[in-house]
């Protein structure tokens, strides 16, 4: 008697702009969405700390091929620093490592923040998912192992104080590039100001094209679990994460050829529209669409579209 093959789920493709709650890991959130949609593949567009809430874009099916674009996109955070206490993890969960009576005023924090705008070098927190000799840094930190992480370049596009409810707390808004750690900024700001501080509240308001205003909660989706059309209506298209990429429109016939890995000739007006959509004249990248369906990522060269990463139809 042959064994029945285990069902792997349905080939559902798209993005969920999820507003993750506090006290849930990114991995747990992905598992819940995958179950709700009975999807064959799922992944997220950049880890969000369990103690943080906010935007966690989740890719289903073919959209998992575009996860890197979410990870590389600009991110927007609003966070609160609690002055007077530092913790091992730079958040409320960690062990207290130091205390201080220093309470920086708004002007001092605003002045210090100016040094963080631009391309800066930042040492990631030891309680992070970075691998050290094959081990996760947070595992080594929890075990009390001695190790150091190397500084890396990160981009900070904007940083400002947006609130100071009392002397113990400062609320900060930041727009950053990939690889930036809010907890590391809090640690370094406190050091610069001769103070102690940790992140008492953290929210990610935006990841690229995915913002808080259009986000859905797990409760929203759970309420639709018996309503397949309603659930599907919450999905954003595969190319939602590629909204800023120059596009080329192709016919259904050309789409079939592209999905076979073949290059296709583009009409002159399509090439011209692609040129107008570029931000850099040396950039050859393009997203091929057949109507509203994403066909492939590739390059435009000598009037042809050459596929690099193909999406199943």
Q: Which residues are catalytic?
A: 49
Look-up: residue for tokens 């150091």? 148
β partners of residue 176: 75, 156
Q: Give CA–CA dist 41/36, Å, rounded.
A: 12
CA 169 to CA 171: how far, in whole Å?
A: 7
Residues 254 and 247: their CA atoms lie apart, in Å, by 15
Phi, psi for residue 47 in degrees, rounded to 5: -55, 140
**56 in Cβ contact with 22 (< 8 Å):** no
Handedness of CA 123, 124, 126, 130 (dihedral sign): negative
State the Cα–Cα distance between residues 118 and 250, nearest whole angstrom. 39
Contact 12, 60 (CB under 8 A): yes
Q: Tell me the C-alpha distance between 295 and 171, whole Å.
A: 43
Instruction: Report d(CA 212, CA 191) in Å as an integer.
Output: 31
Rounded distance, CA 200 to CA 83, Å? 9
Give the SS3 label for residue 43: strand
Radius of gyration in angstroms for the set of CA atoms belonging to the chain, rounded to a whole number: 23
**Residue with tokens 């139809």, as numbered in its chain:** 313
Structure tokens belonging to residue 286:
């393009």
Alpha helices in the chain (DSSP H): 26-37, 67-72, 106-113, 137-142, 182-192, 218-222, 228-233, 252-258, 268-277
């Amino acid at each position: 008697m042959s064994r029945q093959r285990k069902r792997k789920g349905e080939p559902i493709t798209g993005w969920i702009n999820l507003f993750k709650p506090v006290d849930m890991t990114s991995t747990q959130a992905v598992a819940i969405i995958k179950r709700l949609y009975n999807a064959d593949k799922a992944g997220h567009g950049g880890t969000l700390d369990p103690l943080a809430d906010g935007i966690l874009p989740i890719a289903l099916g073919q959209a998992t091929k575009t996860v890197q674009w979410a990870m590389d996109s600009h991110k927007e955070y609003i966070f609160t620093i609690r002055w007077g206490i530092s913790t091992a993890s730079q958040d409320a969960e960690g062990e207290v490592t130091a205390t201080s009576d220093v309470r920086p005023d708004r002007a001092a924090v605003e002045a210090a923040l100016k040094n963080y705008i631009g391309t800066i070098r930042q040492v990631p927190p030891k309680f992070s998912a970075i691998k050290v000799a094959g081990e996760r840094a947070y595992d080594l930190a929890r075990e009390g192992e001695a190790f150091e992480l190397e500084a890396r370049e990160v981009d900070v596009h904007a940083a400002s104080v947006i609130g100071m409810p009392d002397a113990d707390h400062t609320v900060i808004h930041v727009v950053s590039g990939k690889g930036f750690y809010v907890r590391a900024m809090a640690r370094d700001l406190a050091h610069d100001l001769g103070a102690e501080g940790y992140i008492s509240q953290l929210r990610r308001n935006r990841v690229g094209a995915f913002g808080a205003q259009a986000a859905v909660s797990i409760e929203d989706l759970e309420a639709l679990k018996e309503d397949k059309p309603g659930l599907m209506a919450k999905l954003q298209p595969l190319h939602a994460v590629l909204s800023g990429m120059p596009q080329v429109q192709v016919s259904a016939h050309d789409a079939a050829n592209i999905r076979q890995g073949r290059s296709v000739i583009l009409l002159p007006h399509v090439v011209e529209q692609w040129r107008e959509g570029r931000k850099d004249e040396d950039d050859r990248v393009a997203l091929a669409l057949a109507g509203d369906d994403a066909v492939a990522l590739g390059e435009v060269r000598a009037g042809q579209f050459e596929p690099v990463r193909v999406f199943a139809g």
